[in-house]
A = this chain, B = another copy of it.
Amino acid sequence: MPETSTQPRTTPSAAYTPTDRTVPTRSKERAAYDHEVVHAILDEGYVCHLGFVRDGAPVVLPTLYARVGSRLYVHGSTGSRPLRMTGQADHGLAVCLTVTHVDGLVLARSAFHHSINYRSVVVHGTAHQVTDPQERRLALDALVDQAVPGRSGDSRPANAKELAATAVIRLDLEEVSAKIRGGGPNDEPEDLSLPHWTGVLPLAKGYGAPIPADDLAPDIEVPGYLTAL
């Protein structure tokens, strides 16, 4: 739908190079390649949708991710399909990793101009298994801290058995784009006098009160990094 993006843009310091795959076929004005914009969207999330091809057909699975500089990490059981496929592939596994934040529902006077406000990042590339023990540790800490910054320092690190059961894959940020839609509805001039309510219904975001585990000792208080969220 042809609304224009009204999201403010920061001045780019560096940007990803657009490619055939990262230039949208439509609403090109919504695309962004600045590192700052792309990284901010990635850093706000922790669940991505990871796509890969199995027997010629697409598969899309939700999974956790973490960004460390210009790399993304995904982890999982060594038995899970994309992680096993990456480990078996000599040259890595072709993936598409997408992160989406929905910010609001855009209600226009016409059904056609209904839309959503969102910020998404799409990363194309080849995932490789991480085998270096130090990089694996760093990635696993980052995966915990992506959702709850500070948490990796307040939990027991993985032991040898757990490390052996966990696969980590890396995807470099090279072929990357963001897409952003912000602002209100863009109705046709001839629709302005229609009697329908029009505007944006923003999504409320945040967290509820922490629910302690049944077996939590009563003297252990909710840590500051949680109340900070």
**A: which residues have CB within 8 A of B?**
1, 21, 25-26, 46-47, 49-54, 56-62, 64, 77, 79-81, 84, 94-98, 100, 102, 104-105, 107-112, 114, 116, 118, 120, 122, 124, 140-141, 144, 147-148, 151-152, 154-159, 162, 166, 184-185, 187, 191-192, 194-216, 220-223, 226, 229
Contacts and interface: CB of A to CB of B under 8 A. Distances in A.
**Chain A binding surface SS class:** mixed
Given A25-B77, A51-B58, A156-B191, 13 more contacts: A21-B57, A25-B81, A49-B62, A49-B100, A50-B60, A60-B97, A60-B98, A111-B141, A195-B220, A197-B210, A197-B220, A197-B222, A197-B226
A57 to B, nearest CB: 5
Contacts of A200: 210-211, 213
14 contacts: A21-B57, A49-B51, A53-B58, A58-B58, A58-B95, A62-B98, A111-B156, A112-B158, A112-B159, A187-B213, A197-B223, A198-B213, A200-B213, A202-B209
